[in-house]
Amino acid sequence: KTPPLSRQLSFTTLLLAVVVCRATQDYGYKDVEEPTLGDSQYGSLWPLPQKVQMSTVAFKLSGVSFQIVDAKESSSGASCSLLQNAYRRYDEYIFPISRMQGQNKKKAFASDVSELQVWITSADSECDNYPSVTSDESCECPGMMFVFLVGALSQVLYSQSISDINRTEIQDFPRFTHRGLLLDSSRHFLPIKVILANLEAMAWNKFNVFHWHIVDDPSFPYMSRTFPQLSQQGAYHPYTHVYTPSDVKMIIEFARLRGIRVVSEFDTPGHTQSWGKGQKDLLTPCYSGASPSGSFGPVNPILNTTYDFMAMFFKEVSTVFPDAYIHLGGDEVDFSCWKSNPDIQKFMAQQGFGTDYSKLESFYIQRLLDIVTTTNKGYMIWQEVIDNGVKLKSNTVVHVWMGNKFEEELQKVTEAGFTTILSAPWYLDYISYGQDWQKYYKVEPLSFNGTDAQKKLVVGGEACLWGEYVDATNLTPRLWPRASAVGERLWSDKDVKDTNDAYSRLIQHRCRMVQRGIPAEPLFTGYCAHEYKGV
């Protein structure tokens, strides 16, 4: 039984009953160099639910007879393709071998748990809607027979298609509503299959926002219908290294079916070198003395044509990406080119900006925000925008990313009354030797000085994997299971912080991801039982 449900991830939470809550299954990861840590009482659960109560009452679960069905009382049924799609996915996750063998070749037992009934209590299940910031991800399953597979190796379950389960109660909901992952498809083009695979892994780790940093200085792979020359001139290749409208639509739908929002980022006025290749006069000409140098800087903020272009471009973006928010960037603007340009200097004097080029940046950003507001979209911005004093709408989401003293930044931003998300301690592109997942796991997002009202404005965070040194060959193993640590920090209760217990669960969760086709890197020495294929 669930409370009113408006997104698939709530269903995913409900399916803790049969997937995530395979808690005591032994995934066989054996540590051979470090002292073996004790098994967690929660087995391989990741991220840990808010409340788990296990009993010793045991039943049988058979891959032959078990099925996931709609409860008679449920407001959703066979017509809800979102749920039916999820039933099929999770059935394959639970019984990857027995389903291929055929259900009629094995005998079911009288004591089998034969089905999981999914009961959606909301009058409107919103099966066809997109996930949103207000989606309900809570789940309460009192007295249900959750699938805790006791003491059985995964080889036993898959070869015999049957195992013991325990009666368990779970109450679950996320601590933070925004649990995001940023991927960068500009510095290296990410094939669609790589994005889809990581959306799948995001769902397993209860991330609910895909922050798609789709374009940047190096390349412009987004194929715009309004301005096709942007990708024709700005992508690494105009045919092979672009995301067509149908590609984008497919990615958004794939994410929707897994309860994941897709928030696109089109960062300006900096980080726009690739934009200028296909849009004449968009970027500022840089000068060397009295003559143009031939290079270009940020977006030219003094031309009306700039804002005409932005109005048309973001009108298109607002229709392509259905989420209520667009990330507008606004970070790392290099003023040196603006300072060199005589036309910019003249404009600065006319506006009374003096030599404070942050005022020119604010001039541009405020006009851009007005443009985006006309599309009825909310916006997210990097922290520099508020640091530079730009006037923002009250519903702006500020993204804190600078690593130095991020607690002070959180205090300042929330004191100003803005909704905030945190990424500063979770830049996964910084790699180091050893188990750096613990560093990410130990972060407390609300450790800053502030009132309870301020801390409620921190709605979550994002793990970021920037693409300077990452492409399709190494993105996934670099991301997982390190991002899993961020996933639990953003989902589970603040008191869930025992790294020994987390290590015990995470090594098994990592094996589960590998078994499902995600090449997550190992935490330390050892092996996964499925590597031996039952031998």
Catalytic residue list: 332
Distance of CA 13 to the CA centre of its chain: 16
Q: Report cis status (omega within 30 of 0) of the bond before 481.
A: yes
Cα–Cα distance between 54 and 233 in angstroms, integer? 59
Cα–Cα distance between 330 and 401 in angstroms, integer? 12
Q: Which of these, 214, 223, 211, 240, lies nearest to 428 by C-alpha position?
A: 211
Contacts 24+ apart (CB under 8 A), 277-280: 277/220, 277/233, 277/234, 278/220, 278/227, 278/229, 278/230, 278/231, 278/232, 278/233, 278/234, 279/227, 279/229, 279/230, 279/309
How far is residue 67 from each of residues 95, 97, 309, 331, 342, measured CA to CA in Å? 10, 15, 53, 50, 71
CB 228, CB 238: distance < 8 Å: no
CB 508, CB 44: distance < 8 Å: yes
Cα–Cα distance between 53 and 34 in angstroms, integer? 30
Q: How many CB atoms lie within 10 A of CB 361?
A: 23
Distance of CA 295 to the CA centre of its chain: 36
Cα–Cα distance between 69 and 72 in angstroms, integer? 9
Cα–Cα distance between 409 and 407 in angstroms, integer? 5
How far is residue 413 from each of residues 225, 250, 364, measured CA to CA in Å? 37, 36, 21
Cα–Cα distance between 212 and 195 in angstroms, integer? 10
Q: What angle is formed at CA 9 by the lines to CA 147 and CA 79, rounded to 5 degrees?
A: 95
CB 475, CB 194: distance < 8 Å: yes
Cα–Cα distance between 429 and 321 in angstroms, integer? 26
- 442 has which bridge partners? none
Q: How many CB atoms lie within 10 A of CB 71?
A: 16
User: Roughly how many angstroms between the first and final C-alpha of the chain, as a whole number?
Assistant: 40
How far is residue 462 from each of residues 40, 182, 457, measured CA to CA in Å? 27, 7, 15
